[in-house]
Structure 1
Amino acid sequence: MEHAARLPAAHSPLPAEASGQSLAVLAQALYLINLLVAPGLAFVALVWLWRRHRDSAPPLARQHLRQALWVSVVAGVLIAGLSALLMAAGGLHAAWTWVVVLTYFVCIHGALVTMGIFALSKAMAGQPWRYPLVGPRES
C-alpha cells in the first residue's frame, strides 16, 4: 500500500538526476531567491551554476538554466535600471516620481515573481519553460 501513494517524478521515464530535473528546479529556485530573498547573492550562485553546467547539463536543465540566468539579467535591468531612470527623469523630490516608480516597481516585480513561480512549477514537473516576452528563444 505504501508504494501506491508515491507518484513518479514528473512522469518521466528517467530519474530526476538523469533528466536534469533537480538542476532545473535549483536554477528556478535561485531565480526566485534572487528576486525575493537574497538579491545579488543568489544571482552569483546562478551564474556559477550556469558556468559549471552549461555544457554538461541534460537538455531540460540547460534550458531552465539559460532561461533563469537571462531573465535574472533582464529583471535587474527592468527593476533597478528603469526605476533609476524614472527617478532621474522625475527628480527625487517630486511626489509623482515616487508614485510612478513604486507603481512600476510593484507591477514589474510582481510579474517577474509570478513568472518565476510558473517556471519553478514547470521545472518540478520536468517540463521546459520559456518566460513570456522576456525569455530567450531557443536556438
Structure 2
Amino acid sequence: MPHSGADPAPGQDLAIAAESLYLVNLMLAPGLGFLAIAWLWFKHRGTAPVLARCHLDQTFWVSLWGGALIVAAVAGFVLLFGLHSEWTWTYVILYFTCIHSTLIMFGILGLAKAMAGQPYVYPLIGRKCD
C-alpha cells in the first residue's frame, strides 16, 4: 500500500539504507556494500516492518543473483573464447554496459520507492514481498 503523508512509513529508514547500500555495492564498493546488505538482512529479516523487510529481501537476493550472473557470464565468455581473446573482453564490456547498468537503474527505482515509503519488487529476479 502506498504511503502518503509527512511522517515516514514504519521501516522507511531501513528500506532507504538497504537500497542505498545496493547502489553502493554496484557502483562504489563491490563486496563491501553487499556485506553491509547481508548484515542488515540477517539482523532485521525477522523483526523489520513490512516495508523494510520488502526492500531488504529485494536488495539481498538481487545482489546474490547479480553476483552469480556476473561470475557465470565472465566464466562462460572465458570458456568460450579464452582469456586472451578480444571477443572475451568485448562481451564482458557489453555485459557491463547492458546488464549491470540495468541493475543500477532498477536500484535507483528501488531507492525512489523506498524514499516514497512504497514497496518495490525488482523485475524478473526480484522476490515477491509479504
**Superposed pair shares fold, TM > 0.5:** yes
Tell me if structure 2 keeps the 8 A contact 1:87–1:101.
Answer: no
Give the aligned partner of residue 87 of structure 2.
96
2:4 counterpart (5, 11, 17): 11
Could you say which structure has the greater relative contact order, defined with CA pairs below 8 angstroms and 6 or more residues apart? 2
What is the Cα deviation at residue 100 of structure 1?
A: 1.6
Give the aligned partner of residue 99 of structure 2.
108
Tell me if structure 2 keeps the 8 A contact 1:31–1:46.
Answer: yes
**1:33 aligned to 2:24?**
yes
Give the aligned partner of residue 70 of structure 1.
61
Q: How many percent identity over aligned positions?
A: 50
SS at match of 1:128: coil
Residue-by-residue CA offset, 1:12-59 (whole Å, 9 max, x unaligned): 47x42x611000000000100000001111111111101111111100
Matched AA of 1:130: V
CA distance in 1, matches of 2:4, 2:129: 24
1:127 counterpart (114, 118, 122): 118
The structure having more radius of gyration, on CA atoms, is 1
Aligned residues: 128
What is the Cα deviation at residue 81 of structure 1?
A: 2.7
What is the Cα deviation at residue 86 of structure 1?
A: 1.2
What is the Cα deviation at residue 114 of structure 1?
A: 0.4
List runs of 5+ in structure 1 lacking aligned partners. Answer: 1-9
Matched AA of 1:23: L
List runs of 5+ in structure 2 lacking aligned partners. Answer: none
What is the Cα deviation at residue 103 of structure 1?
A: 0.6
CA RMSD of the aligned region, Å?
1.5
What is the Cα deviation at residue 90 of structure 1?
A: 1.0
CA distance in 2, matches of 1:132, 1:121: 15
**1:61 aligned to 2:56?**
no
**1:24 aligned to 2:8?**
no
CA distance in 1, matches of 2:54, 2:29: 23
CA distance in 1, matches of 2:12, 2:28: 23
Given the superposition, is the C-alpha separation of residues 12 and 19 from structure 1 closer, same or farther in structure 2, using an over 3 Å criterion?
Answer: farther
